[in-house]
A and B are shown apart, each in its own frame.
Chain A
Amino acid sequence: MEVAVWRGDETGGRYETFDVPAQDNQTILDVVTWIQQNSDATLTYRFACRVGMCGSCAMMVNGTPRWTCRTHVRKVLKGNRLQVAPLQNLPVIKDLAADMDPFFDKWVRVGGRHEPGKTRHDQIEAIPPDTPDRENADAGIECINCSVCYAACDTVRGNPDYLGPAALQRAWTIVNDEKHAGRQQILNTVAASDGCFNCHSMGNCTVHCPNGLDPMNAIAGLKRAVTKNRFKRGG
């Protein structure tokens, strides 16, 4: 098959075409690895676990962001051709490796870190696993930080300061965590100008999330929580 791979760095680049032998069972990551091992050892890309756990290997495949280690070639091959590029909406380091810093900076900015509200001397509170809040938090913690939703989001594309679906879903997760003490701070952050109200509910994040999560509805939940909170606090 013919594989067009984006080569370049932050200053620009172009597609370079490689002929790669087709196999019965072959992922996009296998294809990229074959090129790096057999055609051009200078090809740069990122991966770690190869089993859809670590979120390192996401790339644009035929214009759609995907986790490449679990994307089979036969599902995305068009006319015996493939096009592989670095994730969009992020700066490029080199070739297929995108710079994930802006993505993770937003996780930090949204306050996605757990803040305990009790000391070791307090009783551990019982959280029933079947409450709606806990179910929301349980769904959100499955995020593997692959940035597929971030690359698919046209709102991020239009406003690079927008927190984006992954960071906002993290905010929704931790807002639903009864053990988190900094709930009000998170609601203030997501209510600000580059927060949840930027979302147009176009649903690219939910459609493309490889783990089947639903950031669009998580963001809708934040909009609701922020609105309720505003009325409760009297504006």
Chain B
Amino acid sequence: MQSYRNHPLWLAFLLHRLSGLGLALFLPAHFYVLGLALTDPGRLDGVLHWADSPVVKFAEFGLVFLLAVHMFGGLRLLALEFLPWPGPQKSLAAGALAGAFLISGAFLLKAI
């Protein structure tokens, strides 16, 4: 990474972009599986059974983390731009990350 990018808000931008891309890749699969409820309920049951396995639960933890970090990061940007709330953006970005870990960690503890 080039040195001029070496600061918390750039990393927050990168995390926001990567989490957004990850969610965008996940959503078609998500809607496809939901669609099975209408077209092939038997297969949907199979997928739901597979989703109970520990590996998938762990992957879901990652998914919840991506969702939470993207949501909190997005709220931070909205606050920065529209409240206006320039405030301590580094702390808010760190808070968004901590909040995402809290939510996804709570999900993981409940799932296992």
B2 interface residue per 8 A CB criterion:
yes
B103 interface residue per 8 A CB criterion:
no
Min CB distance, A212 to chain B, in Å? 14
Bound: A200/B7 CA distance, A: 15
B5 touches A217 (CB 8 A): no
A204 interface residue per 8 A CB criterion:
yes
Chief secondary structure at chain B's binding surface: helix
Instruction: Chain A residues near B7: list those with CB within 8 A.
Output: 203-204, 207
Q: How large is the interface on A (under 10, 10 to 19, 20 to 34, 35 or more residues)?
A: 20 to 34
Bound: A207/B9 CA distance, A: 9
- Write the chain B residue with the least CB distance to A217: B86
Bound: A223/B81 CA distance, A: 7
B77 interface residue per 8 A CB criterion:
yes
Instruction: Chain A residues near B3: list those with CB within 8 A.
Output: 62-64
B81 touches A64 (CB 8 A): no
- Per-residue contact bits, chain A 200-235, to B (CB 8 Å; 1 contact, 0 not): 111110011000001011001101100100000000
Please indicate which of the listed interface residues B9, B77, B80, B81 has the most CB atoms of chain A within 10 Å of its own CB. B81
Instruction: Chain B residues near A9: list those with CB within 8 A.
Output: none
Instruction: Chain A residues near B32: list those with CB within 8 A.
Output: none
A220 touches B9 (CB 8 A): no
B4 interface residue per 8 A CB criterion:
yes
- Per-residue contact bits, chain A 20-47, to B (CB 8 Å; 1 contact, 0 not): 0000000000000000000000000000
B82 touches A227 (CB 8 A): yes
A203 touches B4 (CB 8 A): no
Known: A204-B4, A204-B5. A217 touches B84 (CB 8 A): yes
Chief secondary structure at chain A's binding surface: helix
Bound: A152/B10 CA distance, A: 11
B50 interface residue per 8 A CB criterion:
no
A65 interface residue per 8 A CB criterion:
yes
Please indicate which of the listed interface residues A65, A216, A220 has the most CB atoms of chain B within 10 Å of its own CB. A220
- Per-residue contact bits, chain B 3-45, to A (CB 8 Å; 1 contact, 0 not): 1110101101100010000000000000000000000000000
Min CB distance, B106 to chain A, in Å? 28
- Write the chain A residue with the least CB distance to B17: A200
Bound: A207/B10 CA distance, A: 10
- Per-residue contact bits, chain B 92-112, to A (CB 8 Å; 1 contact, 0 not): 000000000000000000000
B86 touches A220 (CB 8 A): yes
Bound: A86/B1 CA distance, A: 19
Q: A154-B5, A223-B81 are in contact. List 4 more A-B contacts (CB 8 A).
A: A64-B3, A204-B4, A207-B4, A208-B4
What are the 7 tightest A-B residue pairs by CB atom distance, in nearest-first order?
A203-B9, A202-B13, A63-B3, A64-B4, A220-B81, A217-B86, A64-B3
State the A residues within 8 Å of B (CB): 62-65, 152, 154, 200-204, 207-208, 214, 216-217, 220-221, 223-224, 227
Some 9 contacts from A to B, beta carbons below 8 A apart, are: A201-B13, A201-B80, A201-B81, A202-B10, A203-B7, A203-B89, A207-B9, A220-B80, A223-B81
